[in-house]
Amino acid sequence: MDLTSPIADWPLDVPDRLREVRTSDAWARVVHLTILDACCEAGLEAAAAWEDAAAWHVAGFDPTIGDLDPAAGTMPHDAVGADGIRNYHRELARLTDGTYRQELVAVESGRGPLVEAHLRTTARRGDRVLDIPTLLAFELPSLRIRRVTEIPGDLPAWDAFWAR
C-alpha cells in the first residue's frame, strides 16, 4: 500500500463543526480520522488504517467503467487498492471537469466493524446537475478499512447524471 498520500484522496469537504473527532468508538474514530486525512491532508497517517487490498464499491452504475447501458446489464465494479481507489476519484473529477464534490454530514457507528458516513454529493456535467445524499458504508474488521460501499441516495438521479 502506498502510504505517501491519503488512500481515498477524493474531493471531500468537512465542515468545521465536524473536524474534531468526538467519539470513543474505535471504529468510528478510524473512519473519522481517515476522512479528515483525505480531505484536509491533516498528516494523520490514516493510510495505515486501510488494508492492502481495500476496495471501493459503488452501488448502482459506476461511471468510471464506460457507457451506461442498463439493458446490457452494465455492472459496477470495485476499485481495489490505493491506486485503484485514487484513480476512481480522479476519474470522477475528470468526468465532471473538477466539479464532483462530497460534503460530510455525519459519521455514525453501531459500535462495531461497520461505520456509516453520510454525505451530500454534488457535480455538474454540461447542463446536468447532481445534488443527492450519499451513504458510505465502511467495513473495518480488525480496525482496518477493508471495503467502502458508496450508495447514492437517489439511484435514478445518479444513473441519469452519468449516462453518456
**Residue 145 to residue 141: CA distance in whole angstroms:** 7
- Say what the pLDDT of residue 41 is: 56
One digit per residue, pLDDT tens: the chain, 164 residues? 443 444 556 778 888 888 887 788 888 888 888 777 666 654 445 556 788 888 989 887 777 765 545 554 445 568 888 788 888 888 888 999 999 999 999 998 877 899 999 999 999 999 999 999 999 999 999 888 899 999 999 999 998 898 87
Contact (CB, 8 A) for 105 and 84: no
Angle at 74 between CA 71 and CA 79, to 5 degrees: 165
- Say what the pLDDT of residue 9 is: 61
- Say what the pLDDT of residue 5 is: 47
Secondary structure (3-state) at 99: coil
- Say what the pLDDT of residue 66 is: 57
Secondary structure (3-state) at 93: helix
**Residue 59 to residue 78: CA distance in whole angstroms:** 10
Residue 36, classified by CB atoms within 10 Å of its CB into exposed (0-12), middle (13-18) or buried (19+), is buried
Domains of the chain, earliest start first: 12-162 (3.10.450.50)
- Say what the pLDDT of residue 40 is: 61
**Residue 140 to residue 157: CA distance in whole angstroms:** 29
